[in-house]
Structure 1
């Protein structure tokens, strides 16, 4: 009887609303680095609602990501998730951050040319994000044959997100020309200020995602959404996944 109660309690703790799922339950081979659950992001701390570094998505989105991953695996590549479902409270947390009247050196790494008060007006951050519907994603590619062992060191001073990959904070992924969440024209998907190899990686990612119906956001090479899979915005916190 105790085992049954414990099992029911665990299931209740992990239940998700609507048609949301943990991506690990769909495809555990997809690498996850949920940055807003850490201090390694433009705010410099975990955002409200990120109680665990888990990618949560709508089921259809997860199944399509699995199909993308299967295609990439044959090329010794993998998807790497930076952000998936985002609680609405996290977007409001970003709004408060943008209005706090301070800009630190670590924050400027992500927006070296744009004041953070301008990020919403210019379309880099939204107070109501499609991420909160479970149909938007931030991601990149990992070359599984490369040395991806370098880790972010919070005590180290890194160059800004537009600098050469050797000087930027390590992300354990292919060089897309900028770091993740780089609010700069160089981060625009079709930017001409990056080299041919970096452009080729971006095109490869966009093409792989497009084959499963995902659409890229032109100002962010890392941002994709699945039209028609969204709906209402949610605000439930991201909790640890239980096996």
Structure 2
């Protein structure tokens, strides 16, 4: 009887686990299930982003991508590992409700000093017009990602302090908010010409890091967005946008 009860519990437990594992649409996966070595810092699930709060739909700090995107990111990671480097994911799949949240934020008529750190040269109301945020984001298809590089041999111990008054995203790396990654010349989500991938306003060392990232991603078929050194998409893997919320992986 105890054996039967145990088997019943195991079957129920397995069913629950299976149901949880299938909580994503069938063509989506949690990146950590494909490669747990890829560092994740999903900023829109936290207050450390241009809106200063968690964004709608980000119930967990998890990178979710289309199924064909995951293995390609793993291949990039394997290449980088030979150089003691790692990818760090800032954003992956983005629910459509998050995009709507961003649109509403851009039109609320308010702009704090912390928000200005991300777009020091113009008003946040111009972010969509200038192409820094899209009203229909490729991220919502699961085929676009925001990421950077981490030097695994460097001191990445500086942590973001929400109470600190950091310089804007174009400032020298020691003055802007820490990101635990290599110095790409600007912070993540920096809506400024200096954040354009081919910007001439960065140092040779920063240029080498950007070129290394773009080349490694290109070898796996990813295309970079010219206005954002951190943004890459996989052509042909997009399609319709989705609006399911991001939840914690099993």
Q: Same fold (TM over 0.5)?
A: yes
TM-score, structure 2 length as denominator? 0.95
Task: Give secondary structure in 2 for the equivalent of 1:139.
Answer: strand
Q: State the 1:59 CA deviation.
A: 1.4
Alignment correspondent of 1:183? 191
Q: 1:170 is matched with which residue: 178, 200, 209? A: 178
Alignment correspondent of 1:55? 63
Q: 1:12 is matched with which residue: 13, 16, 19? A: 19
Q: 2:238 is matched with which residue: 227, 230, 235? A: 230
Q: Unmatched 5+ residue regions in structure 2?
A: 1-7
Q: Indicate whether 1:211 and 2:219 are aligned.
A: yes
Write the deviation string for residues 83-126 of structure 1: whole angstroms up to 9, x where unpaired: 00000100000000001110000000000011000000000001
Alignment correspondent of 2:75? 67
Distance in 1, Cα, partners of 2:229 & 2:69: 18
Structure-to-structure mapping, 1:55-204, within 5 angstroms? 55-204=63-212
Q: State the 1:222 CA deviation.
A: 0.1
Q: State the 1:137 CA deviation.
A: 0.3
Q: State the 1:5 CA deviation.
A: 1.8
Distance in 2, Cα, partners of 1:96 & 1:11: 37
Distance in 2, Cα, partners of 1:113 & 1:13: 45
Distance in 2, Cα, partners of 1:148 & 1:62: 25
How many residues are paired up? 242
Write the deviation string for residues 50-109 of structure 1: whole angstroms up to 9, x where unpaired: 000000001110000000000000000000000000001000000000011100000000
Distance in 2, Cα, partners of 1:114 & 1:18: 41
Distance in 2, Cα, partners of 1:125 & 1:44: 16
Task: Give secondary structure in 1 for the equivalent of 2:224.
Answer: strand
Distance in 1, Cα, partners of 2:9 & 2:118: 50
Alignment correspondent of 1:240? 248
Alignment correspondent of 2:3? none
> After TM superposition, which residue ranges in structure 1, 4 or more long, deviate above 4 angstroms?
none
The answer on whether the counterparts of 1:14 and 1:239 sit within 8 Å (CA) in structure 2 is no
Q: Which moved more, 1:183-192 or 1:8-17?
A: 8-17
Q: State the 1:37 CA deviation.
A: 0.3
Write the deviation string for residues 158-185 of structure 1: whole angstroms up to 9, x where unpaired: 0000000000000000000000000000
TM-score, structure 1 length as denominator? 0.98
Distance in 2, Cα, partners of 1:67 & 1:222: 18
